[in-house]
Amino acid sequence: MDRRTFLSLTGAATGAAMTATPAQGSSKPGPWKDGKKWVYSITYDEGCEDLLKHAVPIHREFGIPGHVAFVSAQLGIPRNVPGSSYHDLMTLSPDQMKGLMKEGWGASCHSMTHVGVTAENADVEVVEAGKVLADKLGVDIPIFTVPGSNHGHPPAIAAAAAGGYKAIFTIYDKVNTFDTDLLWLGRTPLHTEYPGPFYSQFDPWKRLQQAQATAGWVVDYCHLPLPDTPVHPAKDCTTQELRARFEAVKQFGGDDVWLAEPNEVVDFLLNDPGARQRRMDQPEGLNTLHDTSMRALYTTND
Ligand SMILES: [Zn+2]
């Protein structure tokens, strides 16, 4: 059997198994909006203009909304973060983003300058940055997306209330659930290949079954998918991989998955009466314990 035949056979087998999976669960409605059973979102940090060329058409094809995390001082100008793989790339302008918002996309604040949040600069990088972005886009900005590394997360939490934020995206790779602390939202890297020692390769099905099993919320994280070769294999995927991801989400999720823009999900968790009750009813779960231990670890490092 040649490789192409093998791939088509295994692809068909996988497809049959996956379409059968949702039917194995309960037929009663799920806990999310419109009775959906789990949630899928995807975020693009930095807001490169070439998303319009490479990612947006794939979003339109699959009917999946996107989300952009913006460096507030850098909309409509070339990115100015020396050392970044995305340095000098043109960013989306406010008008371009407003156009995407009409198609269901949303935005969050990714700090003022991407310098890395500290207790000393959080007034500007977290609090002021949110206001600047809200002003440019003409919408509230309830989500802060930690730039750089999770080391900026504790000072971002400390400044969140002053900035009017209701939620924070980190780069902890996990599925969010009803009991996830909204200031500790995880994201799943959608990347071509991680660095060593494991060199983990792209998996279009990553965390989807876990999200289904836990009535959870997967939030993918990438930057600017390009055809054939990623900007950086550990920071991005290709457009072919993005398409494979969306195919997996639609095939596995069927009618059970809520394809949601993250601001909508945060609003649902905070304001939908059923969701609020469910969050209150959650026992202290592993998720919370895990968060508590990480919080202690990171706060002692500060
Ligand atoms: Zn970034």
Domains of the chain by residue range: 29-301
Interatomic CA distance for residues 19 and 16, integer angstroms: 5
Q: What is the pLDDT of residue 288?
A: 54
Name the region of 264 (left: φ>0; alpha: ψ -120 to 50; beta: rest).
Answer: alpha
CA of 283 to the centre of ligand 1 (A): 34
Interatomic CA distance for residues 156 and 115, integer angstroms: 13
Interatomic CA distance for residues 143 and 141, integer angstroms: 6
CA of 16 to the centre of ligand 1 (A): 38
Spelled out in words, what is the top-level CATH class assigned to the domain 29-301? alpha beta
- Helix 286-301 × helix 153-160 angle, to 10°: 100
Interatomic CA distance for residues 50 and 61, integer angstroms: 17
CA of 115 to the centre of ligand 1 (A): 9
Q: What is the pLDDT of residue 285?
A: 54
CA of 288 to the centre of ligand 1 (A): 26
Element (H, E) at 168: strand 167-169
CA of 63 to the centre of ligand 1 (A): 25
Q: What is the pLDDT of residue 17?
A: 42
- Nearest Cα neighbor of 113 from 137, 145, 158, 147 is 147
Please list the pLDDT of the chain residue by residue as tens digits (302 residues).
444 443 344 444 444 444 444 445 568 899 999 999 999 999 999 999 999 999 999 999 999 999 999 999 999 999 999 988 999 999 999 999 999 999 999 999 999 999 999 999 999 999 999 999 999 999 999 999 999 988 999 999 999 999 999 999 999 999 999 989 999 999 999 999 998 899 999 999 999 999 999 999 999 999 999 999 999 999 999 999 999 999 999 999 999 999 999 999 999 999 999 999 998 887 665 555 556 666 565 554 33
- Nearest Cα neighbor of 213 from 266, 240, 163, 252 is 252
Report the predicted TM-score, pTM, of the whole model to 2 decimal places: 0.87
How many Cβ atoms from other residues are within 10 Å of residue 172's Cβ?
Answer: 17
Interatomic CA distance for residues 189 and 203, integer angstroms: 10
Q: What is the pLDDT of residue 55?
A: 98
CA of 43 to the centre of ligand 1 (A): 11
Quote the tokens at residue 17.
């198994």
Q: What is the pLDDT of residue 25?
A: 56
CA of 114 to the centre of ligand 1 (A): 6
Q: What is the pLDDT of residue 284?
A: 61
